[in-house]
């Protein structure tokens, strides 16, 4: 590898393509050519015809994308196209709303290219069949052309907004980081290639992730480590589709006031790769990644045969046996095609096959993460609430924590952003589109969560190097901006599943609909409880009026809607606007009277009536706000032990000292076993976030079915 001196504008363009050119290249000479023009020049300007990209390259790209995806959210063609657009692999109009606004499932052809209607508008797929005023039905959401804008644009016809299917991409929302700071992904690529080059050999796990093999320096025994970092896997995906192999520029660095040009990085030539040599060498007869088809990354060479890919992939897992023996859980092995996919065939090509391949990788990874096969369904474990340990605000925090990602912590910065998007912070506005659609940064805040401004009235981002990132006020734009050269020092904020809150920016009625649906489920139920983490669970009727099972509200949008309701109304009862019979209708939501006694018994009556103060004075319902307009959490107090001590959790634990049975059933106190006897006690917004985090940590524990033993048990 050598050092290549390059112009910063060209470097950034090489990283991201042209979709984000106007975001990053302000001040450049504007002479950069489009990605498609560049590829045309490569293909047509040389003396040789470019070979088709190897399907092996696309297979690995799909696996890396699957490894970058969260466990809960399946991949779709639309989400793959969104990722490609954000990475600059698609050469599409430079419109932030196209990239960052509401993302919908739309009608596409076999290449992923949108199929337009007679007006030339995209066609969102409808969540249910729509009956139009003339009596005809449609499975796509009606669109109209808005001629009041400077340039005519297509919009959803008024009254049909609720029928769009919002696109959830979960952990892949981290790709938004690139839109303001491409160096982040350059660092991830650098780290991945550095680790690959430090290994002695490379192989793949059953999901297609890279496994790096090295030797223990003392014993010489082989050591294997899987590249499982979502960011690194996404960087590898980007490299394969852009370069056709694992190669690319590392980050530009700043040391001692000097700028160090980025290095060109690739896999070292002497590393033994065997059948994986294409990761280093690419496709014979081809010197770049994917081409474009109508502006979209051309994945037509992708082919996925599930049986062929997984029939011989052997997996280790734990099998539950209900055979009367004392040891129910035993280690077993089986083939992925049977254990993960139930022998279900799939054969597909182009972007549909590519997407299914990526999602199959995700499903395989989920299986490999401590899954016990055929374990009987356990009854709902609940958090004691009748003794008053949980009040309305603790419930609000738990509902928000339940909507968050299992692996992405909630922070004060994240909570403030969510409150601003939901309109709970009154009079608090975004100062620029970047705060809505781009990177969110950790800021210096006071004890109430309000940003502390510098002498220029600019927010102060927390620096990765300690202290703050210097900001400057731009009198021309009227906005604050990071001082040039310090862009990489900000701490980016990840929201995980809570990124779904962004849909409320352009379609706030989505939350109305989500809350309406949850309340219908509550009123059709045979009781309400809080699960062990604090999430709401409703009893599902078995058809005879008796309880069948409890369903936990774990949808991020539904969890946000419940939080939104409690913070606005101080209870779950209020008015929403939904579409009924072709027109917007105000609906008053209320919990059915038949549930009042159980709510009283469970200590959850506040969900129906609000706080005591709210009952005597409607003005006291909902949240109070600080003079600055931010939600006031100053009266909130939280002690982790008070909420969780005494609650019992059932789990399965490894027993390395018991040779007769490797796993055993356990029941222990949640506060002690899950939260490690956390002695936290606090108040204000910090404590509210801590309650949400306690919820998330308990959820993470109960979803990780097999627990490692405590150190003293080994």
The 10s digit of each residue's pLDDT in 146-163 is 877 667 788 888 888 778
Q: Pairing relation of β-strands 547-552 and 222-226?
A: unpaired
Model-level pTM?
0.81
**What is the mean predicted confidence (pLDDT) over 53-72?**
93
Q: Which H or E element spans position 249?
A: strand 247-249
Tokens 């990124």 locate to 499
Question: 343 Cβ partners below 8 Å, 6+ apart?
Answer: 337
Q: Which of 7-11, 618-622, 697-701 has the highest mean pLDDT?
A: 697-701
Q: What is the pLDDT of residue 156?
A: 87
Q: What is the pLDDT of residue 712?
A: 55
**What is the mean predicted confidence (pLDDT) over 157-170?**
81
**What is the mean predicted confidence (pLDDT) over 240-258?**
87
CA-based angle 305:233:18, to the nearest 5? 100
41 band by pLDDT with thresholds 50, 70 and 90: very low
Question: 507 Cβ partners below 8 Å, 6+ apart?
Answer: 102, 161, 164
Q: What is the pLDDT of residue 65?
A: 96
Model pLDDT for residues 393-405, shown as the tens digit of each residue: 999 999 999 998 7
Six token digits for residue 547: 């309880």
> What is the 3-state secondary structure of 422-445?
CCCCCCCCCCCHHHHHCCCECECE
Which segments of 450-579 does DSSP mark as H helices, in order? Answer: 503-506, 509-523, 556-569
Q: What is the pLDDT of residue 361?
A: 97
595 band by pLDDT with thresholds 50, 70 and 90: very high
Q: What is the pLDDT of residue 25?
A: 25
Q: Which of 175-184, 353-362, 449-458 has the highest mean pLDDT?
A: 353-362
Residue 653 pairs with which residues in a beta bridge? Answer: 664, 707
Question: 173 Cβ partners below 8 Å, 6+ apart?
Answer: 494, 495, 496, 499
- Model confidence at 104: pLDDT above 90: no
216 band by pLDDT with thresholds 50, 70 and 90: confident
- Model confidence at 39: pLDDT above 80: no
- Model confidence at 14: pLDDT above 60: no
* Percent of the chain whose pLDDT exceeds 90: 56
Question: 609 Cβ partners below 8 Å, 6+ apart?
Answer: 571, 615
Lowest mean pLDDT among 205-209, 502-506, 547-551, 665-669: 502-506
Lowest mean pLDDT among 209-213, 289-293, 509-513: 509-513
Burial of 689 (0-12, 13-18, 19+ CB in 10 A): buried
- Model confidence at 431: pLDDT above 60: no
Q: What is the pLDDT of residue 627?
A: 92
**What is the mean predicted confidence (pLDDT) over 575-587?**
84
Q: What is the pLDDT of residue 95?
A: 53
Q: Comparing 608 with 146, which gets the higher pLDDT?
A: 608
Residue (of 167, 231, 179, 177) closest to 556 by Cα position: 167
Lowest mean pLDDT among 302-316, 488-502, 524-538, 586-600: 488-502
Model pLDDT for residues 323-356, shown as the tens digit of each residue: 888 888 988 999 999 999 999 999 999 999 999 9
Helix crossing, 77-86 with 350-368: angle to 10°? Answer: 100
Q: What is the pLDDT of residue 363?
A: 95
Q: What is the pLDDT of residue 36?
A: 40
657 band by pLDDT with thresholds 50, 70 and 90: confident
Model pLDDT for residues 612-637, shown as the tens digit of each residue: 889 889 888 999 999 999 999 999 99
486 band by pLDDT with thresholds 50, 70 and 90: confident
Q: Are the C-beta atoms of 591 and 599 separated by less than 8 Å?
A: yes
**What is the mean predicted confidence (pLDDT) over 346-368?**
96
Q: Which H or E element spans position 580?
A: strand 574-580
CA-based angle 699:690:565, to the nearest 5? 80
Six token digits for residue 130: 């729509």
Q: Pairing relation of β-strands 479-482 and 347-349?
A: unpaired
- Model confidence at 71: pLDDT above 80: no
What b/e readout covers 643-661, taking b as 16+ CB neighbours within 10 angstroms?
bbbebebebbbbbeeeeee
Helix (H, G, I), strand (E, B) or coil at 12: helix
Residue (of 41, 54, 45, 103) closest to 76 by Cα position: 103
| Separation between Cα atoms, residue 104 and residue 125, nearest integer Å | 8
- Model confidence at 15: pLDDT above 60: no
Six token digits for residue 432: 């620029």
711 band by pLDDT with thresholds 50, 70 and 90: low
């Amino acid at each position: 590898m050598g050092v290549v001196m390059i112009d910063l504008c060209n470097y950034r363009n090489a990283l991201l393509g042209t979709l984000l050119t106007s975001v990053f290249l302000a001040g450049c000479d504007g002479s950069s050519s489009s990605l498609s023009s560049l590829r045309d020049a490569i293909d047509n300007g040389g003396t040789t015809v470019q070979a088709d990209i190897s399907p092996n390259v696309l297979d690995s790209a799909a696996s890396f994308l699957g490894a970058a995806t969260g466990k809960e959210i399946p991949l779709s063609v639309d989400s793959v196209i969104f990722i490609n657009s954000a990475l600059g692999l698609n050469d599409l109009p430079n419109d932030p709303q196209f990239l960052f606004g509401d993302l919908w499932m739309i009608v596409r052809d076999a290449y992923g290219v949108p199929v337009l209607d007679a007006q030339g508008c995209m066609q969102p797929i409808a969540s249910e069949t729509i009956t139009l005023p003339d009596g005809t039905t449609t499975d796509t959401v009606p669109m109209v052309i808005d001629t009041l804008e400077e340039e005519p644009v297509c919009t959803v016809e008024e009254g049909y907004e609720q029928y769009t299917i919002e696109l959830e991409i979960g952990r892949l929302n981290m790709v938004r980081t690139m839109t303001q700071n491409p160096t982040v992904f350059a660092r991830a690529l650098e780290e991945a290639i550095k680790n690959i080059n430090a290994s002695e050999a490379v192989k793949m796990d059953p999901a297609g992730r890279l496994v790096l093999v090295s030797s223990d320096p003392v014993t010489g025994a082989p050591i294997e480590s899987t590249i499982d970092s979502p960011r690194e896997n996404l960087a590898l995906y980007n490299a394969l589709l852009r370069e056709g192999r694992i190669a690319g520029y590392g980050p530009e660095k700043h040391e001692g006031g000097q700028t160090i040009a980025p290095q060109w990085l690739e896999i070292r030539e002497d590393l033994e790769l065997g059948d994986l040599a294409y990761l280093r060498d690419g496709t014979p007869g081809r010197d770049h990644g994917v081409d474009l088809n109508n502006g979209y990354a051309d994945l037509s060479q992708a082919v996925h045969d599930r049986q062929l890919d997984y029939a011989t992939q052997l997996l280790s897992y734990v099998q539950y046996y209900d055979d009367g023996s004392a040891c129910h859980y035993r280690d077993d092995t089986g083939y992925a095609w049977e254990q993960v996919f139930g022998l279900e065939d799939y054969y597909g090509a182009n972007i549909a096959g590519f997407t299914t391949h990526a999602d199959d990788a995700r499903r395989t990874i989920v299986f490999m993460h401590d899954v016990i096969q055929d374990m009987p369904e356990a009854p709902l474990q609940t958090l004691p609430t009748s003794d008053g340990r949980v009040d309305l605000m603790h419930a609000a925090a738990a509902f928000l924590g339940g909507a968050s990602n299992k692996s992405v912590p909630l922070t004060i910065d994240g909570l403030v952003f969510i409150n601003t998007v939901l309109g709970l912070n009154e009079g608090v506005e975004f100062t620029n589109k970047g705060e809505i659609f781009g990177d969110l940064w950790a800021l210096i805040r006071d004890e109430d969560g309000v940003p502390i401004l510098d002498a220029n009235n600019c927010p102060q981002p927390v620096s990765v190097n300690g202290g703050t990132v210097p900001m400057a006020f731009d009198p021309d734009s009227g906005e604050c901006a990071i001082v040039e050269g310090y862009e990489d020092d900000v701490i980016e904020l990840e929201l995980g599943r809570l990124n779904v809150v962004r849909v409320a920016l352009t379609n706030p009625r989505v939350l109305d609909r989500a809350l309406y649906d949850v309340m219908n489920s509550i009123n059709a139920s045979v009781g309400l409880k809080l699960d062990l983490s604090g999430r709401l669970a409703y009893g599902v009727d078995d058809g005879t009026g008796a309880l069948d099972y409890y369903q936990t509200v774990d949808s991020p949008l539904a969890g946000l809607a419940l939080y939104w309701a409690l913070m606005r109304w101080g209870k779950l009862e209020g008015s929403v606007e939904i579409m009924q019979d072709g027109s917007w209708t105000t609906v008053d939501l209320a919990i059915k009277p038949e549930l009042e006694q159980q709510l009283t018994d469970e200590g959850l009556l506040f969900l129906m009536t609000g706080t005591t103060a709210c009952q005597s004075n409607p003005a006291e319902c909902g949240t109070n706000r600080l003079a600055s307009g931010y939600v006031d959490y100053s009266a909130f107090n939280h002690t982790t032990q008070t909420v969780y001590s005494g609650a019992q959790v059932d789990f399965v634990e490894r027993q390395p000292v018991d040779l007769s049975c490797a796993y055993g059933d356990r029941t222990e106190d949640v506060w002690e076993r899950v939260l490690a006897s956390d002695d936290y006690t606090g108040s204000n917004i910090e404590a509210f976030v801590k309650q949400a985090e306690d919820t998330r940590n308990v959820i993470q524990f109960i979803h990780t079915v097999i627990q490692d033993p405590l150190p003293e048990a080994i």
